[in-house]
């Protein structure tokens, strides 16, 4: 039964491939996202760059705003809960969201454990920086991964680092023989069953999307060419000067990620991107990507 | 040699490509109108119909797609059958109206209502059940006279065809059972 329901969870992740999942904070933004061709929306009270400015504790959003967004659009609606906060996840499941993001963008509720995601009928997506973290989350039942990047910065550098790291980790596993895989499982702190599956297939058992810092059509194309199967765009759209045009351009850039002619067209004449901040300028303790164990 | 295209705007198009490759059928991901000239049939995959519709504007247009579908074969799965069918009253969702079925989107509810169930394929005498995966699935609420129902769930059609087109409300591309894909290939072959 566990496997059967896991198949249904990963199935939805498969349907979201080749698309853009956009952070939205109200009904108006959700409609702009849907009209622009988003594959799904992430409903949250404050987008990551505002969470940074605002400070304080970032928690699950008010169910009322999530419900309003669910009513306003026909595409899948995702919402975030804090790492390890399974009670928030239970509430989100009760609302009927289509995917839960157990997200480092919110303030963690547990600094040792993540949610045991097999306990839920709703699928989960989790962030990762490298292969070990990805495989631990999949071991807990995550049906989709996303590389973390550094949310709210508009700086693509961490997203690139994490995507390259995960893919390098996969290639490394492919080169190892069975006796080496067990010690690698120990080193990575990840389940041997999942490690063997990745070594055999040369890819994660669930789709892997990119997140954290995507602000332009070129950023989206870069992540797709590096192996992302879809992209999450958080602050990049609604912190830009003309969100509607930018949203449409990023959607197009994901579909035609390897066609420079289309990329040139959609990149031309867009108003200003989000201002952003270099991820390097952040003090270590303010880096969201470090949350997750 | 037969070439099958798979509409590659958004969604699970690579899953279909993997199956066609396993069946040694030549396939191509279709993102441009001119590619339609070189294929014998087109698979419209699962994904989001609003996302598909938005992008049928330039590189590949709705008009070209409809022109193709009026004379050539298509096979739609989930979002795909919505595109083939008719009756969605939403200007964000473009429909080709080549399959005479009226569709209701997300008819079972949100993702927690998604499910797997066994169905019988009427074209297959083996009587082996087919594991059908329904994900935020649509329902066929009305079928026209020219429609043949090839599988049902709780008495309602979930796999239908007419002379040129084949459509499912579930996701055969997510299983290792290739019978429905094979049926489509044979359908394309027999009319070429």
Q: What are the pLDDT digits (tens) for B56-102?
A: 999 999 999 999 999 999 999 999 999 999 999 899 999 999 999 99
Chain position carrying tokens 């109108």? B33
Question: In the predicted model, what is the mean pLDDT of residues B38-61?
Answer: 97
The pLDDT value given to residue A2: 45
Catalytic residues of A: 80
pTM for the model stands at 0.96
Give me the interface pTM, i.e. the ipTM: 0.96
The pLDDT value given to residue A158: 97
The pLDDT value given to residue A1: 37
The pLDDT value given to residue B192: 63
The proportion of chain A whose per-residue pLDDT surpasses 70, expressed as a percent, equals 99
> Does A14 contact B at CB distance below 8 Å?
yes
CA distance linking residue A230 with residue A220, whole number of Å: 9
Taking only Cα atoms into account, the Rg of chain A, rounded to an integer number of angstroms, comes to: 18
Contacts of A202 in chain B (CB under 8 A): none
Q: Give φ, ψ of B26 to 5 degrees.
A: -65, 130
Report CB contact under 8 Å: B106, A74. yes
User: How far apart are the CA of A142 and the nearest CA of chain B, in angstroms?
Assistant: 15
Query: Which candidate in A1, A2, A13, A18 is best for mutational testing of the B interface (most B CBs within 10 A)?
Result: A18
- Nearest Cα residue to A76 out of A165, A142, A14, A147: A14
Q: Is the pLDDT of residue B32 over 90?
A: yes
**HSE of A157, CA atoms in CB hemisphere, 13 A:** 9
Query: Which of A15, A252, A262 is the closest to B47 by Cβ?
Result: A15
CA distance linking residue B163 with residue B70, whole number of Å: 11
Query: Which of B55, B105, B114 is the closest to A255 by Cβ?
Result: B55
For A22-54, the pLDDT digits (tens) are 999 999 999 999 999 999 999 999 888 888 888
CA distance linking residue B149 with residue B146, whole number of Å: 10
For B130-183, the pLDDT digits (tens) are 999 999 999 999 999 999 999 999 999 999 999 999 999 999 999 999 999 999
Contacts of B54 in chain A (CB under 8 A): 35-37, 248, 251
DSSP tag of A226: T
CA distance linking residue B23 with residue B36, whole number of Å: 21
Report CB contact under 8 Å: A18, B10. yes
For A117-128, the pLDDT digits (tens) are 999 999 999 999
Is residue B181 flagged as an active site residue?
no
Domains delineated in chain B: 3-191 (3.40.50.880)
A161 neighbors A223 (Cβ within 8 angstroms): no
The pLDDT value given to residue A188: 97
Q: Is the pLDDT of residue B117 over 60?
A: yes
A174: which 2 tokens? Answer: 């492919």
Q: Is B84 helix (H, G, I), strand (E, B) or coil?
A: helix
> Does A75 contact B at CB distance below 8 Å?
yes
Query: Which candidate in A8, A70, A251 is best for mutational testing of the B interface (most B CBs within 10 A)?
Result: A8
Q: How many CB pairs under 8 A join A and B?
A: 114
Say how many C-beta atoms besides its own lie within 10 A of residue A3's C-beta.
6
Query: Which of B15, B48, B59 is the closest to A14 by Cβ?
Result: B15
> Does A35 contact B at CB distance below 8 Å?
yes
The pLDDT value given to residue A4: 76
CA distance linking residue A156 with residue B112, whole number of Å: 33
Band (pLDDT 50/70/90 cuts) for residue A3 is: low
Query: Which candidate in A37, A67, A217 is best for mutational testing of the B interface (most B CBs within 10 A)?
Result: A37
Say how many C-beta atoms besides its own lie within 10 A of residue A290's C-beta.
13
For A154-176, the pLDDT digits (tens) are 999 999 999 999 999 999 999 99
Chain A's closest residue to B132, CA to CA, is: A8
Chain A's closest residue to B54, CA to CA, is: A37
The pLDDT value given to residue A53: 86
CA distance linking residue A292 with residue A108, whole number of Å: 8
> What mean pLDDT value characterizes chain A?
96
The proportion of chain B whose per-residue pLDDT surpasses 90, expressed as a percent, equals 97
> Of chain B residues 29-88, which have a CB less than 8 A from chain A?
31, 46-48, 50-51, 54-55, 59, 78-79
For A201-218, the pLDDT digits (tens) are 999 999 999 999 999 999
Question: In the predicted model, what is the mean pLDDT of residues A249-255?
Answer: 98
CA distance linking residue A105 with residue A270, whole number of Å: 28
Query: Which of A7, A123, A256 is the closest to B111 by Cβ?
Result: A123
> Does B105 contact A at CB distance below 8 Å?
yes
A288 neighbors A150 (Cβ within 8 angstroms): yes
Q: Give φ, ψ of B86 to 5 degrees.
A: -145, 175
CA distance linking residue A141 with residue A115, whole number of Å: 9
Query: Which of A8, A252, A259 is the closest to B114 by Cβ?
Result: A8
Pairing state between β A99-103 and A124-128: parallel
């Amino acid at each position: 039964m566990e496997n059967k329901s896991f198949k249904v969870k990963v199935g939805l992740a498969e349907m979201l491939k080749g698309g853009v999942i956009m952070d939205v904070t109200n009904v108006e933004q959700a409609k702009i996202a849907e009209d622009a061709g988003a594959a799904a929306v992430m409903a949250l009270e404050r987008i990551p760059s505002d969470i940074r400015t605002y400070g304080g504790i970032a928690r699950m959003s008010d169910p009322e705003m999530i419900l309003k967004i669910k009513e306003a659009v026909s595409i899948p609606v995702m919402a975030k809960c804090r790492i390890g906060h399974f009670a928030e996840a239970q509430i989100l499941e009760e609302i009927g969201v289509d995917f839960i993001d157990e997200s480092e963008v919110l303030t963690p509720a547990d600094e040792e454990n993540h949610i045991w995601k097999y306990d839920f009928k709703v699928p989960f997506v989790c962030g990762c920086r490298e292969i070990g973290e990805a495989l631990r989350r999949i071991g807990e039942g995550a049906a989709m991964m996303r590389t973390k990047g550094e949310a709210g910065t508009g700086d693509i550098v961490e997203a690139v680092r994490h995507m390259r790291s995960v893919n390098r980790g996969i290639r490394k596993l492919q080169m190892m023989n069975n006796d080496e895989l067990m010690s690698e499982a120990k080193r990575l702190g990840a389940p041997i069953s999942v490690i063997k599956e990745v070594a055999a297939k040369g890819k994660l058992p669930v789709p892997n999307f990119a997140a954290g810092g995507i602000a332009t059509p070129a950023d989206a194309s870069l992540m797709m060419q590096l192996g992302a199967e879809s992209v999450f765009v958080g602050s990049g759209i609604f912190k830009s000067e003309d969100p509607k045009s930018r949203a449409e351009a990023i959607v197009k850039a994901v579909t035609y990620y390897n066609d420079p002619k289309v990329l040139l067209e959609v990149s031309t004449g867009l108003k200003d991107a989000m201002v952003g901040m270099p991820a390097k300028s952040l003090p270590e303790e303010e880096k969201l990507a470090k949350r997750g164990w | 040699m037969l070439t099958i295209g798979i509409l590659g705007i958004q969604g699970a198009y690579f899953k279909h490509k993997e199956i066609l490759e396993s069946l040694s059928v030549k396939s191509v991901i279709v993102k441009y109108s001119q590619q339609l000239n070189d294929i014998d049939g087109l698979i419209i995959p699962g994904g989001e119909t609003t996302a598909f519709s938005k992008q049928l504007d330039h590189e590949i247009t709705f008009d070209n797609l409809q022109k193709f579908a009026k004379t050539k074969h298509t096979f739609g799965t989930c979002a795909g059958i919505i595109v083939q069918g008719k009756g969605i009253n939403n200007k964000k969702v473009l429909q080709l109206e080549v399959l005479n079925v009226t569709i209701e989107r997300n008819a079972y509810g949100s993702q927690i209502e998604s499910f797997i169930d066994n169905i019988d394929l009427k074209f297959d005498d083996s009587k082996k059940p087919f594991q059908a995966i329904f994900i935020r699935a649509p329902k066929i609420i009305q079928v026209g006279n020219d429609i043949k129902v090839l599988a049902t769930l709780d008495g309602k059609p979930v796999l239908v065809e007419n002379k040129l087109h084949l459509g499912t409300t579930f996701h055969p591309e997510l299983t290792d059972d290739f019978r429905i894909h094979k049926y489509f290939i044979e359908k394309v072959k027999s009319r070429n």
